[in-house]
Amino acid sequence: MGPNGTVQNQNQQGGEQLSKTNLYIRGLQQGTTDKDLVNMCAQYGTIISTKAILDKTTNKCYGFVDFEQPAFAECAVKGLQGKGVQAQMAKVGIWVLHRPAIVRLFACK
């Protein structure tokens, strides 16, 4: 088991860890909500969680949909791709958020 209880496997091409239940969906319309992702994917099986994200730097929207079972996720990838949606299994990894250090200067009297 990997982070957040996800099952991991090796991607044959790059050795990257892929989730068996969590989808990554690109190219969504701006304004896409978590509920929109549920509506888009519920037909494929039981959903554990969804998250729609708008990248404010690029103004591109993408999302994640985590299914209860790997078979549901596999069915969703095939079904969504058949409809022209950019869906694939999400990569699993440890993301480190790099933020610039905050420096505070105080004047002493």
In this structure, what CATH number is given to the domain that contains residue 15?
Answer: 3.30.70.330
Q: How many helices (H) and strands (E) does the chain have?
A: 2, 5
Lowest mean pLDDT among 12-16, 18-22, 34-38: 12-16
DSSP 25-75: EEEEPTT--HHHHHHHHGGGS-EEEEEEEEETTTTEEEEEEEESSHHHHHH
The pTM of the full predicted model, rounded to 2 decimals, is 0.71
pLDDT of amino acid 5: 44
For the segment 22-39, the average pLDDT, to the nearest whole number, is: 95
Question: Residues with Cβ < 8 Å from 54, sequence gap 6 or more?
Answer: 30, 60, 61
pLDDT of amino acid 108: 47
Residue 69 lies in a domain: yes
- The token pair at 66 is 């985590």
What is the domain extent for residue 72? 3-91
